[in-house]
Amino acid sequence: MSKSKDFLRTIVEEDLKSGKYKEVVTRFPPEPNGFPHIGHAKSIVINFGIARDYHGHCNLRMDDTNPTTEDTKYVEALKDAVQWLGFDWGNSVHFTSDYFPKLYDYAVELIKMGKAYVDSLTEEEIREYRGTVTEAGRRSKYAQRSIEENLDLFERMKKGEFKDGEHVLRARIDMSAANMKMRDPLLYRIRHAHHFRAGDEWSIYPMYDFAHCLADYIEGVTHSICTLEFENNRDIYNWVLDTLGLKPPRPYQYEFARLNINYTVMSKRKLLELVEGGQVSGWDDPRLPTIAGYKRRGYTPESILNFCDGIGIAKANSMVDVAQLEFSIRDDLNTKVPRVLCVLDPLKVTIVNYEGSEEIEASYYPHDVPKEGSRKIPFSKDIYIERDDFMENPPKGYFRLTPEQPVRLRHGYIISCKEVIKDTNGNIVEIKAEYHPDSKSGSDTSGIKVKSAIQWVSAKEAKTVEVRLYDRLFKEEAPEGVEDINPDSLQVIKNALIEPAVITEKPDERFQFERQGYFYADPINYSDEHPVFNKIVGLKDSWGKKKKTGEPVPKPQAKKVQIDGEVVAMSEEQQALFDKYTNALGLNSEVANTLARDEQLSSFYEEALAVLNSPVGLANIVSNDVARELKEKQANELKFNAKQIAELVKMVDDATISNKIAKQVFEEMVKSGENPTQVVKDKGLVQISDPSIIAPIIDEIIAKNPDNVAKFKAGNTKLLGFFVGQVLKATGGKANPKVVNELVAEKLK
């Protein structure tokens, strides 16, 4: 169970404690009209997770009330997703269509109570009669039909005597209700369509608002958990169950915020467009946010579950950074999977002073967690290295092979370049090199200093593999459509070279290709004759480094070995620091890794820590902002010191300034070396948390935006973010976002 209890679990616990229910029953109710996506994963984790945590059960129910869009292949995909995430729906999958006869009877009952009537207005008239947010609606003249007439018409609708759209069944509630959804909602409509399970038996199909609450009731569901856009439907949910006077206990509906992720689209409709339009290879294309896509790409169920746990359950919609999902798969695979050598863009190297061959024993798990398992890497005079690991005229800070600079072959010897061979066009086609016999990794007595270790393979034994490099499908953070597709989202390399053990020993399906990223043997196209690997994710977040314009910055040239990929094993000292940071101080392994491997950073961090006991806050700023400065300068060239950074973090900790303002103060410290307290004072940046100062600003913004207030009240809850944003803007970013959020929500209630 996650560390802190979310609001749904709080409700469930109270209901069990008060005896309202003996057992908690939830359900996951997808419509089988597309493959499930990561948003559904969140819903699955919530519904099945709550059932598991409180020893109840969760039904998997296909909400199949719309015959024209549904299909068994989607049912199978939904079952697959739930199973893959590790959940169990018990004996059988439920289908709303199985309840069609019961639902029909309930509708007849409502008619008999005078609570439902057959309306014969056109769709357009129905819309017109409904009124607007500010105007009451009017009731249709057909609402005066007698119960007998309604019963007769409804039965004939069922028998298929009328055309689509000729009549509908509506609830008789209130045409002037403030909640527009309560203005005599539709319960049934005529659809002469083949249903993938019910066949041609039905000519009428129940609407969501009628079918959902009753399906919940029929199944004995206690907590009907759905996403926020159903908030206004809750009144109908209650109305149907209450009006029918059903025997208790009955279910209640609760809403949470749906998951949104940047750089992708999430609705099944938009995903279907991509699949049908051929922009992707199918529902399981590894670039799609579908569960099938993640599965095919190589994500583990654990990484998805951890991600869902990490984002929590909120009551306000927000956007989650896809980097967080990418972090969680990296974090899961980091210590689990074997690390091997693969060359994506091979450059031939001939080691002129080496004769014969040998095998180098190397652990699959050289880092962090000592896990058992090793392989033999063949070595000979003909090898391949990565083309960009050699430069003839390197820029300053290039730490790999050059005519002047030796480099270590990972797990092997140090080599020096002797000659560069080019074709007639001046392209480098081969390097002639010499190896240093006494420099072998693990028994190096050569005394030669190298700054980097690179991947390589022996030409004779290496296996050719296809590698599919996947990147984000969209180049825009909030993509509109196909025009925002990232043209480089898939790059296929047909002739990458990999060390042979990966294919012959198959120690795993997932690997870290050292310095390249994490890869997965494609579950569909892989064969020993034609191995195919999918890139799951890179070793680092490369998007975070991109410039505002969206143009990729050229790969940063490594200044230190550790930035150049996780090639070099940690020294004992570094390992000890890493352990302390992760175990005692609670840093995540990426941050701990960055700090532990860099002496300047770790000593800066330790110095700040001696002044202020805020390990995580300090680690974040040191591993990001300070590290960035230290890439360009030496520690003694910095204008600020560790003590000042501690002072800055302290102001964030005690809520004097916000995180955002802290960035601004840091920039100022970089430039002027001024004390943070002084910067905050001079620029008037102290965070405003006092509600009596913030409230009037909110009032003003509410008064200025009556249209948006109306839209919000009519159900567009996304506008909460708009109001919060306006307030933050009005205060130059100084208002405490938490306080603003709470106050705005309060005032708009």
Alpha helix stretches (DSSP H) within 565-713: 572-579, 589-596, 599-611, 615-621, 627-632, 642-653, 659-672, 676-683, 691-704, 706-713
Q: In terms of Cα–Cα distance, which of 198, 246, 189 is closest to 218?
A: 246
Point out which span in 266-274, 384-392, 402-410, 428-436 binds ligand ATP (CB under 6 A). 266-274
Order of strands across the sheet that contains 342-343 = 339-340, 510-513, 517-521, 532-537, 463-470, 490-498, 342-343
Residue 260 or 675 with smaller CB distance to ligand ATP: 260
- Shorter beta-carbon distance to ligand ATP: residue 39 or 691: 39
Least distance from ligand ATP to the Cβ atom of residue 40, Å: 5
39 or 394: whose CB is closer to ligand ATP?
Answer: 39
State yes or no: residue 42 binds ligand ATP (CB under 6 A): yes
Q: Of residues 60, 190, 226, 630, which one binds ligand ATP by CB under 6 A? A: 226
Question: Per CB under 6 A, which region of 37-45, 50-58, 311-319, 720-728 contacts ligand ATP?
Answer: 37-45
- 30 lies in the site for ligand ATP, by CB under 6 A: yes
Cβ-based nearer residue to ligand ATP, 316 or 670: 316
Peptide bond into 249 cis (omega under 30): yes
Residue 707: exposed, middle, or buried by beta-carbon count in 10 A (0-12, 13-18, 19+)? exposed
Phi, psi for 372 (deg, rounded to 5): -75, 150
Q: Binding of ligand ATP at residue 268 (CB under 6 A)?
A: yes
Q: How far is the CB of 254 from ligand ATP (least distance, A)?
A: 11
Residue 595 token pair: 């700090």
Closest CB to ligand ATP among residues 25, 567 = 25
Q: Which of 6, 15, 31, 345 binds ligand ATP (CB under 6 A)?
A: 31
Q: For the chain, give me the number of helices (H) and strands (E)?
A: 25, 27
- CA distance linking residue 533 with residue 522, whole number of Å: 5
Please pick, among 9, 268, 295, 375, the residue that the annotation labels catalytic. 268
Q: Is 635 in the site for ligand ATP (CB under 6 A)?
A: no
* Chain residue whose CB lies nearest ligand ATP: 39
Report if residue 378 touches ligand ATP, rule: CB under 6 A. no
DSSP letters for 367-423: SSS----EEEEEEESEEEEEGGGB-SSPPTT--SB-SS--EEETTS-EEEEEEEEE-
Choose one: 103-111, 260-268, 514-522, 699-707; the region binding ligand ATP (CB under 6 A). 260-268
The distance of closest approach from Cβ of residue 324 to ligand ATP in the complex, given in angstroms and rounded to an integer, is 15
Among the listed residues 686, 449, 464, 720, the one whose alpha carbon sits nearest the alpha carbon of residue 568? 449
Contact in structure between 617 and 609 (CB atoms under 8 Å): no
Q: Where are the alpha helices (DSSP H) in 208-366?
A: 208-218, 234-243, 268-276, 291-297, 301-311, 322-334
Q: Which CB sits closer to ligand ATP, 313 or 698?
A: 313
Q: Choose, by CB under 6 A, the member of 9, 24, 35, 40 that binds ligand ATP.
A: 40
In angstroms, what is the minimal distance from the CB of 737 to ligand ATP? 23
- Show the DSSP H helices in 496-535 as ranges: 501-504
Please say if 555 is a catalytic residue. Answer: no
C-alpha to C-alpha distances, 291 to 266, 275, 333, 336, 526, nearest whole angstrom: 11, 14, 18, 21, 20
213 part of the interface to ligand ATP, by CB under 6 A: no
CB of 102 to ligand ATP, least distance (A): 21
State in angstroms the smallest separation of the CB of 79 from ligand ATP: 13
The single residue among 8, 29, 252, 283 that binds ligand ATP, judged by CB under 6 A, is 29
Q: How far is the CB of 267 from ligand ATP (least distance, A)?
A: 4
Binding region for ligand ATP (CB under 6 A) out of 34-42, 507-515, 610-618, 703-711:
34-42
Which residue number, 43 or 516, has a Cβ lying nearer to ligand ATP? 43
Nearest distance from residue 223's CB to ligand ATP, in Å?
12
Interface segment toward ligand ATP; rule CB under 6 A; list 261-269, 327-335, 400-408, 678-686: 261-269
The window from 25-33, 394-402, 412-420, 678-686 that contacts ligand ATP (CB under 6 A) reads 25-33
Q: Measured between alpha carbons, how far is residue 134 from residues 123, 178, 707 in Å?
A: 21, 9, 11
Helix ranges (H only) for 298-346 are 301-311, 322-334
* Residue of the chain from 10, 72, 122, 267 that contacts ligand ATP (CB under 6 A): 267
Q: Which of 2, 66, 120, 227 binds ligand ATP (CB under 6 A)?
A: 227
Q: Least distance (Å) from ligand ATP to the CB of residue 82?
A: 11
- Dmax over CA atoms of the chain, in Å, equals 102
Contact between 695 and ligand ATP (CB under 6 A)? no
Stretch that binds ligand ATP, among 40-48, 65-73, 327-335, 384-392 (CB under 6 A): 40-48
The minimum distance between CB 237 and ligand ATP, in angstroms, equals 13
Does the footprint of ligand ATP cover residue 266 (CB under 6 A)?
A: yes
Tell me which of 31, 302, 606, 674 is the catalytic residue: 31
What tokens were used for 555? 């790969």
Residue of 258, 270, 336, 371 with catalytic role: 258
Structure tokens at 534: 């999918």
Does 297 qualify as catalytic in the annotation? no
Residue 39 found at the interface with ligand ATP (CB under 6 A): yes
Tell me the pairing of strands 532-537 and 517-521.
antiparallel
Burial environment of residue 661 by CB neighbours within 10 A (0 to 12, 13 to 18, 19 or more): buried
DSSP state of 582: I
Contact status: 324 vs ligand ATP (CB under 6 A) = no
Tell which residue, 52, 64, 42, has the closest CA to residue 90: 52
* CA distance between the termini of the chain: 32
Could you give the angle at which helices 572-579 and 589-596 cross, rounded to 10 degrees?
A: 140
43 binds ligand ATP (CB under 6 A): yes
User: What ranges make up the beta strands (E) of 396-505?
Assistant: 407-409, 414-422, 428-435, 453-454, 456-458, 463-470, 490-498
Verify whether residue 268 is a known catalytic residue: yes
Which CB atom, from 93 or from 490, has the smaller least distance to ligand ATP? 93
Q: What is the DSSP letter of 37?
A: B
Q: Let me know: does 51 contact 20? Beta carbons within 8 Å.
A: no
What are the catalytic residues? 31, 258, 268
Site residues for ligand ATP per CB under 6 A: 29-31, 39-40, 42-43, 226-227, 258-259, 266-268
